[in-house]
Structure 1
Amino acid sequence: MASTMRTSAESAVERPVPPSMVERMTLILDLFEHPHTHRTLEDVTRRTRLPRSTAHRILDQLVRLRWLEHTNAGYRLGGRALGLGGREPAQNALRSAAAPVLHDLAIRTDLVVHLAVLTGTDVYYLDKVGGRSAVEVPSRVGGRAPAHCTALGKAMLAWLPPERVDAEYAGAVRRTPRSITDLAVLHQELDRIRRRRGLAFERGECFSKVGCVGMALRGEDGPVAAISLVGDARAPLERVAPLVVQAAHAVSAELFGSSAPPREDVTLPRGPARRLAAVSDDQS
């Protein structure tokens, strides 16, 4: 009984708040166990027992230094923290969630499927699931491509703030004669993608003979990755676009659950589909 009373009394005594700034910053950063963990100011104050004004000041400093990001859902790990090793667990979780969907998509279409994330101004390929033409598609896991030239990249750029697109793509490089390098034209393309509820197309913009249809995987804070189907630049990709939409929604639901954006119907362009279908039939 006496032992129980001592334990209760000891637990009632709060541990002292760490005196140094480094210790306080570490105390806060330790709350973010995973790359997708979000904490509100109230969470941080309650868990660290720091004064609210102190916690808020330190959080602001961590955001300015890119150790954290401040989103609509609260604070989460920022680019600097992820760059020290937090990115790999997040990418592994993403690949695990997407793997069965990507394989099913490849089997159903006999096309190459990509999974990629946005890194700087490039897309970074996390996975590549092949159809018979996999060896003919000039991409590889761990490779990169300019985001503004790919369906994967444009699908993610469409949901970023316009000022970020302006800052990062003002000097966009032309990969092929069809690459979009003019900012005004790029914004028009991104607007078309948003009006199609996120569905992006690319034909010969990155590699002259390759075409793609892609869609972003979106959480509360915007796009975290994208998936795409890859085929011949002359192929009627509109025919398989609904499967890309279904796959993107399935992976988003697996990753984010109820916090994923609501599923919306996608409007496909009709004219190009008829013309490309005719081209494909002529070639078959």
Structure 2
Amino acid sequence: MSTSSHGTNADRAPSPAVDRALTVLEQLVASDEELTLTALAKVTEIPLATCASIVYTLERRGYAVRRVVGRSHFWRPTLRLYGLASQLVRKIDLSSVARAELRALADELGMPVHIGVLDGASVVYVAKAATPGFIQFDTYTGKVSPFNLTALGRAIAAYLPADDLDRLMPQLAAGRGPRARATGRRAFRALLEDVRATGYATEDEEEQADISCVAAPFFGADGQVAGAVGVTGFARDLDGEKRDVAVAGVRRLGAEISSRLGCPAAALPGATTVS
């Protein structure tokens, strides 16, 4: 039985040269100010000569630029990295990133499954796996709802950076459903603490009578919350064991979408908490 000369991924040794180059590039991007070669070598713990070879290569390829002041050279990254990232973002369509999984969960529950993203103080539904039948929920791609009145919006808000959340707090909308909660900031922050503790959000007849939903967040490559995936159903149906299945499903989908977007595992709920 022959074996491949290339070996498996586990057999392949990592490249120290590539590792060092990426370390230098990441440090340049992370730094709030330009760095001298000496400072860059010190903070990355890479030998000065090696560090110099890396930054000169990055400069030649257009990923770094230097500013010369006397005998000192100060390095910073260029926006060519942004160009690469933009190309990648255009290729990642949230409406299709987990289409099969959305459909599978919708079929399992007999309820629609959605993906939503935050736009200002609103949640925009960007994808939906509908269910067949005469009764259809008033959720559709492009629908806009107040962020604090949906499980999708709460799942996102719970993991926003503090400054971003502070900017949203004056825009809390009042619910019109029979179980609408008070819209005070203290109460909403307490609700978000519960979301972070459990890893998912709920909404029960607060925005609309007879309708409930559960949702879980997903995260981008930068570790920041990028959106949420949720299930919507009649309150009488989205209860008990079926709710447990829905919660497990949206949490699983949130983790899967995060992985496909390149999110580090440490940024997922339960591993770290975004304040």
Give the TM-score normalised by the residue count of structure 2: 0.63
Q: What percentage of aligned pairs have identical amino acids? A: 24
Describe the superposition over 1:200-222 as per-residue Cα deviations: whole angstroms up to 9, x where unpaired: 11112222221001001113431
Structure 1's 137 and 151: CA in aligned 2 closer, same or farther, altered over 3 A? same
Correspondence for 1:254 = 260
1:232-247, aligned counterparts within 5 Å? 232-234=234-236, 235-236=238-239, 237-247=243-253
Alignment of structure 1 residues 192-207 onto 2, 5 Å? 192-196=194-198, 198-207=199-208
Which residue number in structure 2 is paired with residue 111 of structure 1?
Answer: 111
CA distance in 1, matches of 2:26, 2:95: 24
Q: Work out whether 1:227 is the aligned partner of 2:229.
A: yes
CA distance in 2, matches of 1:128, 1:252: 18
Residue pair 2:212, 2:232 contacting (<8 A) in 1 also:
yes
The answer to whether the Cα contact below 8 Å between 2:223 and 2:263 also exists between their aligned partners in 1 is no
Distance in 1, Cα, partners of 2:159 & 2:253:
18
| Aligned equivalents of 2:235, 2:214: Cα separation in 1 | 10
Q: What's the counterpart of residue 128 of structure 1?
A: 128
Match of 1:189 among 177, 191, 199: 191
Following the alignment from structure 2 to structure 1, what is the Cα–Cα distance between the partners of residues 267 and 244? 23
Q: Determine if contact 2:94/2:127 at 8 Å carries over to the other structure.
A: no
Contact 1:112 1:133 in 2 (8 A): no
- In structure 2, distance between residues paired with 1:98 and 1:194: 23
Cα distance in 1, alignment partners of residues 264 and 171 from structure 2: 38
- Unpaired segments of 5 or more residues in structure 1? 1-37, 63-74, 266-284
**Structure 2 CA distance for partners of 1:126 and 1:171, relative to 1, 3 Å:** closer
Answer yes or no: is the 8 Å Cα contact 2:150–2:207 preserved in 1: yes
Structure 2 distance, partners of 1:144, 1:210, is 16
For 1:189 and 1:221, locate their aligned partners in 2 and report how far apart those are by CA, in whole Å: 22
Q: 1:264 to 1:167 in 2, by over 3 A?
A: closer
Q: Displacement of 1:260 after TM fit?
A: 6.3
Distance 1:140 1:208 in 2: 18
Structure 2: state its 5+ residue gaps: 1-24, 30-53, 68-72
Correspondences of 1:82-93 after superposition (within 5 Å): 89=90, 92-93=92-93
Partner of residue 162, structure 1 = 162
Give the number of the structure whose residues are more often helix, by fraction: 1
Number of positions where the alignment pairs a residue of Structure 1 with one of Structure 2: 206
The one of 66, 74, 77 equivalent to 1:51 is 66
Identify the range of structure 1 (114-123 vs 135-144) with the bigger mean alpha-carbon deviation.
135-144
Cα offsets for 1:140-195 (capped at 9, x unmatched):
10121111111111001000123322222213221315055211111000000001
Return closer, same or farther for 1:96/1:167 CA change in 2, 3 Å cut-off: same
Which SS does the other structure have where 2:116 is aligned? strand
Asked if the contact 2:151–2:215 (Cα under 8 Å) also holds between the matched residues in 1, the reply is yes
Aligned Cα root-mean-square deviation (Å): 3.4
Q: Any idea what the Cα deviations from partners look like across 1:9-51, whole Å, max 9, x if unmatched?
A: xxxxxxxxxxxxxxxxxxxxxxxxxxxxx96526996343521
| Structure 1 position 258, deviation (Å) | 4.8
